[in-house]
Amino acid sequence: MQPIVDSSDLTRRRFAQGLAGGGILAALLPATGWAQSEELASPSAPELSGTEFDLTIADTPVNFTGKARMATTINGSIPGPTLRWRQGDTVTIRVTNRLRQTSSIHWHGILVPYEMDGVPGISFRGIEPGTTFTYRFRVQQSGTYWYHSHSGFQEQTGMYGAIIIDPTLGDPNRVDRDYVVQLSDWTDEDPMRVFAKLRKQSDYYNFNQLTAGDFFRDVSDTGLGTAVRKRKMWNRMRMNPTDLADVSGCTYTYLMNGSTPASNWTGLFRQGERVRLRFINSGAQSFFDVRIPGLKMTVVHVDGQDVDPVTVDEIRIGVAETYDVIVTPEDDRAYTIFAQSMDRTGYARGTLVPRAGMTADVPALDEPQWLSMADMMGNMTHGAASGTQTMKGMDHSAHAGMAMGASAVRVRHARTEYGPSVDMRVDSPRTNLDDPGIGLRDNGRRVLTYADIHTIGGPIDARGAEREIELHLTGNMERYSWSLDGLEFGKSTPVHFRYGERLRVVLVNDTMMTHPMHLHGLWSELESPGGEFMARRHTISVQPAQRVSFLVSVDALGRWAWHCHLLYHMDSGMFRQVVVA
């Protein structure tokens, strides 16, 4: 049963989420003596540079909503310090744990020996309370990355920070100013309580429920018969077409560089300057759709890699992805950086201004959109005795908003998919990469898609694939169970890669949700549907009923994690260990 929430209470809560000065950085800045540029209108995380670093993990009181809560911080800030490294250097990072629980730091997208990867139970034991663990490795790459805890729900409670690695030969993207824009989601609730609610009722936080008004609008648009059939279909499947995010703005406050919307993180510019914005999605569960009304964004860098520049109005940033853009404000006015959640229940917000104290209008949230049958890929019929739904192929062009070039392929379902952990399977997934995704189709703005992203320099290895592995992203929404090939992590065995091989990995999403999949320790080289190299990624978001493939040059020995980067999905079981030997 859906929890009863007074709409006026939600309004008051959203006002509280915009509490000016809420959070941690504004309160701590004067006391700590952190250096702050005179030209920066808002406090940002402190920047540490060099080759030797000392980081301390501790509980720290915060207040984002008018209620005092305890956060997990690194050196006392949310986000943690921005670490500035130089390609080719060897860095030493001493991490001291002042918590009562074991902790860890994972260097997301950074190529390190597996013992330095920071995943308890996979690459090391974790950092015990009261102890210091020393990470030491050579920095092989350059670009924008980030780091976060890989222990429990510490990432949800504030334990993350940015990494900027300066290239040895200089950055080809010359800019006048350079800002990190780190997006995240905060809840005043204990994350264990959030998780428990989801396990009991997966749509607990979804307030975009179907209403009588929706039904009558359907009748007006499509006729009574079609509207009734549509509603019966969703009821029969026991699924909700508005269930786009497990955790919504009813509990989340969305942050930009640790600032609430009303706190309004602000960066300064001079007219005509080239400004680089390094967007990092450090959310636990939230996809953000980012735009700057009045400014075009030229994407120059994705997941730490330089890409062929492409100019857009809007970018969907999946959890754990990074996108660097360059903007050139020509007018003497303020510009809003607007990052709305994919389910349209809230937003993070900041401002670019020529002078401190200026503000700009904040756009209204877009209307949430329903998932369609094209997102789901076909006519659903009841499956075998397990009660699953089987997705049959359909005419992909039936979805007016679906990008052109979609095609269907047949897939192989593992026998482990036919069980209680799987409530639907896709038989004929789509392979198109030029679909911006639900909520962004035909919105009148130029939206970046995966088909637009091309890493400069081509593939790591000219060899074709010697072997292929296919895995399905699976789940059961009623049980809030997430898995790979129908097996939660505790029931699975490791995936084995052979050292030195060139491997093709195929991921098929058998669920209604988009999953950002992160393979530790190895680059994932995304392929086009025709098999051409497209982009080097550390995180690949797979849309509902979509098939993606990527090549891996297996060049790192050891044990690695491979998981969905939606924190509650990972903790529910969408996680595997990869063994390279």
Name the class of domain 7-172. mainly beta
Shortest CA distance to 156 belongs to which of 81, 255, 68? 255
Query: What pLDDT, in 10s, does the model give residues 528-544?
Result: 999 999 999 999 999 99
- Average pLDDT of the segment spanning 109-125: 97
User: SS in 3 state form for 419-453?
Assistant: CCCCCEEECCCECCCCCCCCCCCCCCCCECCHHHC
Nearest residue to 75 (alpha-carbon basis) of 60, 93, 85: 60
Name the band, by pLDDT with cuts 50, 70 and 90, for residue 309.
Answer: very high
Query: Of the ranges 42-51, 237-246, 486-495, which one carries the lowest mean pLDDT score?
Result: 237-246
**pLDDT for 231:** 58
Q: Where are the beta strands (DSSP E) in 221-366?
A: 252-256, 265-268, 275-281, 288-291, 297-302, 305-312, 314-317, 322-327, 335-341, 347-353
Adjacent-strand bridge partners of 334: none
* DSSP three-state, residue 577: strand
Check if the beta carbon of residue 469 is closer than 8 Å to that of residue 505: yes
> What would the two tokens of residue 10 be?
């939600």
* Cα 200 from Cα 479, distance rounded (Å): 7
Q: What is the CA radius of gyration of the chain?
A: 23
Q: Which of 324, 280, 293, 276 is nearest to 445 (CA)?
A: 293
Tokens of 524: 């994932």
Q: How many C-beta neighbours within 10 Å does residue 464 have?
A: 9
**Strand partners for 267:** 352
What is the pLDDT confidence band of residue 42, given thresholds at 50, 70 and 90?
A: confident
Domain map (residue ranges) of the chain? 7-172, 370-581
Please tell me the CATH superfamily of domain 370-581, with its number: Cupredoxins -  blue copper proteins (2.60.40.420)
Which DSSP symbol is given to 58? E
Taking a C-beta distance cutoff of 8 angstroms, is the pair 220, 212 a contact? Answer: no
User: Residue 504: which residues within 8 A CB-CB, separation 6 or more?
Assistant: 465, 467, 468, 469, 527, 549, 550, 551, 552
Tokens, residue 505: 């990995």
Report pLDDT for 382. Answer: 31
CB 453 within 8 A of CB 535: yes
**At which residue do the structure tokens 């998981």 appear?**
563
Is residue 527 helix, strand or coil?
Answer: strand
Average pLDDT value over all residues in the chain: 87
Cβ atoms 366, 445 nearer than 8 A: no
33 vs 28: CA distance, rounded Å: 9
Taking the C-alpha atoms of residue 3 and residue 205, their distance in angstroms, rounded to an integer, is: 8
- Tens-digit pLDDT profile for residues 445-457: 999 999 999 999 9
* pLDDT, position 224: 73
What counts of helices (H) and strands (E) characterise the chain? 7, 34
Predicted pLDDT at 207: 78
| pLDDT tens digits along 564-580 | 999 999 999 999 999 99
Over range 345-362, report the average pLDDT: 96
Which 3 state secondary structure label does DSSP give 386?
coil
**Is 7-172's fold the same as 370-581's?**
yes
pLDDT of residue 459: 97
Res 37: pLDDT = 40
Note the pLDDT tens digit of each residue in 497-516.
Answer: 999 999 999 999 999 899 99
